[in-house]
Amino acid sequence: MRSLISILDFSVAELDQLIATAKDIIANPDNYREKCRYKKLATLFFEPSTRTRLSFEAAMLELGGSVIGFSEASSSSASKGESMADTAKILSCYADIMAIRHPKEGAPYVASRNATIPVINAGDGGHQHPTQTLADLLTISREKGRLNDLTIGLCGDLKYGRTVHSLIEAMSRYEGIRFVLISPAELKLPSYVRFNVLEKHHIPYTEVTSLEDAMPELDVLYMTRIQQERFDDVEEYNRLKDSYVLDTEKMQLGKADMCVLHPLPRVNEISVAVDDDPRAAYFRQALNGKYMRMALILKLLEEAQNPAREAIDTEGLVYDRVCKNPKCICQVEQELPQIARITDPAENILRCIYCEQKV
């Protein structure tokens, strides 16, 4: 069954197709109003959300379908100790497609291995957030008119910011992309993105700490919130939380045709005065998220009509290597098999198949 767990599950051609569908939905909304009649989307949100959950729900309703689900873990049987695998099997009885947000890294992947309906990762811990990337891609395409030949600055919490990880994976596959990674030393990009994506595919990038210095060269500036809920150390969060604030003065340093994205919610990393700048695209980005989720639901439901259970890619798998990441789903669900994959044979680097951290 086709699911969306990582943005790499879709080829560039498929991403371009989703963007084309979303643009067609924008141009001809009436053609889509009945497309999902009698279909149900389940939204399983074990973590807070405004945009992602409600844009999924709005997307399904605008396609003529309906929605079931919950918006907090405490109102589901997970609070009684039900496993992700069982939850996925149960939801497969009630819905045609499901979107899951979970604080543990790899939880939607576990669901997809056990469900008989398509599973969409709506954010797993500090790991990945592929549907936010769909919103980001449509936004860049609409604002800049292209997805290639861009210098993209990513600013803020690059360590725990899951939207950043998925966006880098997606954009690295387009031509002429260069990244400027702007963060404090403590919040740099995790190694699985740096080595498995940037280094492996020879994507040019620089790591800097000054937003002001980076501004003049950027075509796209992607601001992020410091992810308070992922910090183990409150002191460290308090020290880093105001690392970057984009204000009207800094905007003057940017190109006239730069665009500013933010997955939202913002705390104080973009001052409200910036909202009036035509280059501020983050509210348009939130709307684009609904159109891309409509396109995604259509694609996955269409493919579900010809289900071919995807075999797990067994190349380089190593069993019984213990993952030590406390944020991984395998730490709370003890019956999950401990499986790692060799991602760098030369260095003998093994990574957990759920959270991608080194084991």
Catalytic residues: 51-52, 80, 101, 129
Q: Does 263 bind ligand NCD (CB under 6 A)?
A: yes
Q: Does 293 bind ligand NCD (CB under 6 A)?
A: no
| Closest CB 142 distance from ligand NCD, rounded Å | 18
Answer for the pair 227, 161: CB distance below 8 angstroms, yes or no.
yes
Q: How many residues touch ligand NCD (CB under 6 A)? A: 11
What DSSP line would sit under 210-245, residue for residue? -HHHHGGG-SEEEE----GGG-S-HHHHHHHTTS--
Nearer to ligand NCD by Cβ, of 139 and 227: the residue is 227
- Tell me whether strands 177-182 and 66-70 are parallel, antiparallel or unpaired: unpaired
The structure tokens listed for 302 are: 């269409």
Residues near 29 by beta carbon (within 8 Å), at least 6 away in sequence: 62
**Closest among 337, 340, 336, 345 to 355, alpha carbons compared:** 340
Q: Does 230 bind ligand NCD (CB under 6 A)?
A: no
Among 9, 24, 26, 51, binds ligand NCD (CB under 6 A): 51
Q: Does 264 bind ligand NCD (CB under 6 A)?
A: yes
Read off the DSSP letter of residue 246.
B
- Tell me whether strands 177-182 and 205-208 are parallel, antiparallel or unpaired: parallel
Nearer to ligand NCD by Cβ, of 136 and 219: the residue is 136
Q: Does 71 bind ligand NCD (CB under 6 A)?
A: no
| Closest CB 265 distance from ligand NCD, rounded Å | 6
| Closest CB 122 distance from ligand NCD, rounded Å | 8
| Closest CB 307 distance from ligand NCD, rounded Å | 28
| Closest CB 23 distance from ligand NCD, rounded Å | 21
**Closest among 353, 349, 291 to 106, alpha carbons compared:** 353
Site for ligand NCD in 160-199 (CB under 6 A): 162-163
Give strand pairing partners of 269: none
Nearer to ligand NCD by Cβ, of 163 and 357: the residue is 163
**Closest among 166, 145, 273, 132 to 220, alpha carbons compared:** 145
- The mark string for 301-320 relative to ligand NCD (x by CB under 6 A, - otherwise) is --------------------
Among 40, 142, 165, 225, binds ligand NCD (CB under 6 A): 225
Site for ligand NCD in 7-26 (CB under 6 A): none
DSSP 3-state of 177: strand
Site for ligand NCD in 144-163 (CB under 6 A): 162-163
Q: Does 52 bind ligand NCD (CB under 6 A)?
A: yes
d(CA 199, CA 202): 5
H-helix or E-strand spanning residue 205: strand 205-208
- The mark string for 124-143 relative to ligand NCD (x by CB under 6 A, - otherwise) is -----x--x-----------
Nearer to ligand NCD by Cβ, of 87 and 132: the residue is 132
Instruction: Tell me whether the omega of the peptide bond preceding residue 345 falls within 30 degrees of 0, making it cis.
Output: no
CA distances (Å), origin 38, targets 41, 75, 96: 10, 25, 9
Nearer to ligand NCD by Cβ, of 134 and 211: the residue is 134
d(CA 203, CA 191): 15
Nearer to ligand NCD by Cβ, of 51 and 89: the residue is 51
- What single letter denotes the amino acid at residue 155? C
**Closest among 242, 269, 6 to 123, alpha carbons compared:** 6
Nearer to ligand NCD by Cβ, of 87 and 133: the residue is 133
Q: Which residues bind ligand NCD (CB under 6 A)?
A: 51-52, 123, 129, 132, 162-163, 225, 227, 263-264
